[in-house]
Amino acid sequence: MILADILIADPAWEQALPEIAALVDQAARATPGEGEAAILLTDDLAVRALNARFRGRDSATNVLSFPAEAPAVAVPPEAVHLGDIALALGVCEAEAQAQGKPLADHVRHLVIHGLLHLLGYDHVDNAEAEAMEGLERDILRRMDVPDPYGDAWQDRNLDPL
């Protein structure tokens, strides 16, 4: 099980989704794997600064993942720090609205997506993307969250991530 250490840096998250901590925790626990991850819920400016500093992209994005280095000594799997994730509220809200999705469902998806990156999944090529998206769909289906890559979103010519 993945445990989430949740930091709500922007109180607007709790205004937009009073149940945000429970949603993030639910998504983390539903993601297959062992360890813990720090999840920062912040604003677009903070994510933009992180994106510029660490990825050389001067723009806000929905979710950023920062995998941790492997521990230098053996630790139990549940004690491994997988890394850190940051989510930008404004970007997440705008995407959810544009895609006609509830913000809660979109956030669950993005947390799972970010955690999968921490676990080594990626979407650089088509095969990797299909594997990662398939796993995301399976996890979300178990949570009764509709397919974020379904035809409804494809018809709108939107890139969900």
Cβ-based burial of 136 (10 A; exposed 0-12, middle 13-18, buried ≥19): buried
Where b means 16+ CB within 10 Å and e means fewer, 111-126 reads bbbbbbbbbebebeee
- CA–CA distance, 110 with 85 (Å, rounded to integer): 10
Say what the pLDDT of residue 129 is: 85
| Position 56, amino acid | G
Query: Per the structure block, which two tokens stand in for 17?
Result: 């989704």
**What are 19-60's pLDDT values in tens digits?**
999 999 999 999 999 999 999 999 999 999 999 999 999 999
C-alpha of 35 from chain center = 16
Where b means 16+ CB within 10 Å and e means fewer, 11-35 reads eebeebbeebbebbbbbbebbebeb
Query: Per the structure block, which two tokens stand in for 124?
Result: 């650089």
- CA–CA distance, 58 with 62 (Å, rounded to integer): 13
Alpha helices (runs of H) in 31-102, residue ranges in sequence order: 44-55, 89-98
Say what the pLDDT of residue 127 is: 86
Question: For residue 96, how many other CB atoms are within 10 A of its CB?
Answer: 20
Domains of the chain, each with CATH number or no CATH: 2-151 (3.40.390.30)
Say what the pLDDT of residue 160 is: 40
pLDDT > 70: what percent of the chain? 91
Contact assessment for residue 7 and residue 39, using Cβ atoms and an 8 Å cutoff: yes
**What are 74-124's pLDDT values in tens digits?**
777 677 899 999 999 999 999 999 999 999 999 999 999 999 999 999 888
